[in-house]
Amino acid sequence: MKIHSLDVYIIDLPTIRPHHLAMHTIVTQTIVIACIKSEDGIEGWGEVATIGGASYSEESPEAIKLNIENYVKPLIIGENPVNFDALSYKINRYVKGNYFAKALVESAMVDLVAKTLNIPAYELFGGQCHESLPVAWTLASGDTAKDIEEAQNCLAAKRHNIFKLKIGKGNPKTNVAHVIKIKEAVGDAGSVRVDVNQAWDEVTSLYCIEALQNGGVDLIEQPLVRWDNEGMSRLTSRFKVPIMADESLGTVQEAYQISKLRAGNVFALKVPKAGGLTATKKVAAIAEASGIPMYGGTMIESSLGTAICAQLYSTIPELTFGTELFGPLLFKDNITVNQIEYENFEMKIPSGPGFGMEMDREKVKHYSRDI
């Protein structure tokens, strides 16, 4: 089997409501998808999602597309995708950084190989430990009454019982009070967690985390800027409430440094941050070796990207904090014929050949744009 072609598309998908993050408000989410075709005409599809252009990561959707077309594509055309890990090493020799771009290409290669073998992709990563996984929902309307109503609707529908609040934007004390009111309303029926998206300094973190811990919040995600591992380490040793590393935790090397410094005592895995599926398994191995529990993060992928992350996360035994693979629920429309199924507070791991998703070509055409 040889790789015959590689095409990259930028897709803009509208969301059902504005999604407020510290760095950006999403009303249209941009994902990048890739199609790798073998000489026998079989297609493998991959996806990575971006948030707010270059506001979350250095890699904008446009840069991902251009760098793949100009620098990665020539390295893999004519190669056998069965060697996807070896090919990633080859790509790493010639292309520095560009982790999202590399993750996109690897996921399309994996989908192609698994479809050719007629097996689910998770069989290429050691097999499935979970048939379904818990999914957190992000309450991001910014309005306390609306967020409480949304949480109560999720609980009643048995859709989600884990709620995350993005509190990096605005006044920290007001935000903390907002979260505590939501925790009081939800009570023991749900877990309430916060993501600060690097917005606080250490002094602000000291009083805010104390208040959140006393208010019954279960997890504090990335309070400090991504490079401040020493500060994260001090916060982790000071509080009982777990502190999760997200933006500071990308590559395998960063995972090692964070585990050594205990700059966070929970790892947020994300396939594109690490540079691919194989690299994410290595990050998970460092967590496992260090006794650090894990969480399956999202960049707010569509159904395809969600299936990619879900299949990989399903191969990791100790995903103690569940996942946040809610992406498809935030979109007005989707680019696959079949959809991710959510029931009883969990998502079912897709199990068809490849990542188990069939592309809707009309939708891909409809929502794609030029650079």
Q: Give the contacts of 240 (CB within 8 A, at least 6 positions apart).
A: 213
Q: Long-range contacts for 339-346 (Cβ within 8 Å, ≥24 apart)?
A: 339/303, 340/303, 340/306, 340/307, 340/310, 342/135, 342/159, 343/158, 344/158, 345/134, 345/135, 345/158, 345/159, 345/160, 345/161, 345/162, 346/132, 346/133, 346/134, 346/135
Q: Give the contacts of 366 (CB within 8 A, at least 6 positions apart).
A: none
Which residue is associated with the tokens 């993060």?
297
Task: Convert residues 149-188 into a mask of x (bound to Mg ion by CB under 5 A) and - (unbound).
Answer: ----------------------------------------
Nearer to Mg ion, 150 or 221 (CB): 221
Q: Which of 73, 70, 102, 77 is nearest to 2 (CA)?
A: 77
Q: What share of the chain is helix, strand, coil (3-state, %, to 5)?
A: 45, 20, 35
Q: Give the contacts of 313 (CB within 8 A, at least 6 positions apart).
A: 130, 133, 269, 296, 319, 323, 325
Number of residues that bind Mg ion (CB under 5 A): 3
The answer to whether the CB of 222 falls within 8 A of the CB of 47 is: no
Class of residue 246 by CB neighbours under 10 A (exposed 0-12, middle 13-18, buried 19+):
buried
| Shortest distance in whole angstroms from residue 314 CB to Mg ion | 21
**Binding flag, residue 246, Mg ion (CB under 5 A):** yes
Nearer to Mg ion, 44 or 250 (CB): 250
Among 59, 111, 150, 195, binds Mg ion (CB under 5 A): 195
| Shortest distance in whole angstroms from residue 228 CB to Mg ion | 15
Nearer to Mg ion, 73 or 273 (CB): 273
Nearer to Mg ion, 106 or 246 (CB): 246
Nearer to Mg ion, 195 or 254 (CB): 195
| Shortest distance in whole angstroms from residue 337 CB to Mg ion | 30
Task: Convert residues 252-291 into a mask of x (bound to Mg ion by CB under 5 A) and - (unbound).
Answer: ----------------------------------------
Nearer to Mg ion, 112 or 244 (CB): 244
Q: Give the contacts of 70 (CB within 8 A, at least 6 positions apart).
A: none
Which region among 158-166, 180-188, 190-198, 288-296 touches Mg ion (by CB under 5 A)? 190-198
Task: Convert residues 198-237 into a mask of x (bound to Mg ion by CB under 5 A) and - (unbound).
Answer: -----------------------x----------------
| Shortest distance in whole angstroms from residue 324 CB to Mg ion | 8
Rounded CA separation 315/29 (Å)? 28
Q: Which of 43, 65, 9 is nearest to 111 (CA)?
A: 43
Nearer to Mg ion, 106 or 195 (CB): 195
Class of residue 195 by CB neighbours under 10 A (exposed 0-12, middle 13-18, buried 19+):
buried
| Shortest distance in whole angstroms from residue 52 CB to Mg ion | 13
Which region among 138-146, 239-247, 256-264, 328-336 touches Mg ion (by CB under 5 A)? 239-247
| Shortest distance in whole angstroms from residue 298 CB to Mg ion | 9
**Binding flag, residue 324, Mg ion (CB under 5 A):** no
* Residue with the CB atom nearest Mg ion in the bound state: 246
The residue from 102, 166, 183, 273 that is catalytic is 166
90 is catalytic: no
- The torsion angles phi and psi of 343, rounded to 5 degrees, stand at -155, 150
Residue numbers at the binding site for Mg ion (CB under 5 A): 195, 221, 246
Positions marked catalytic? 166
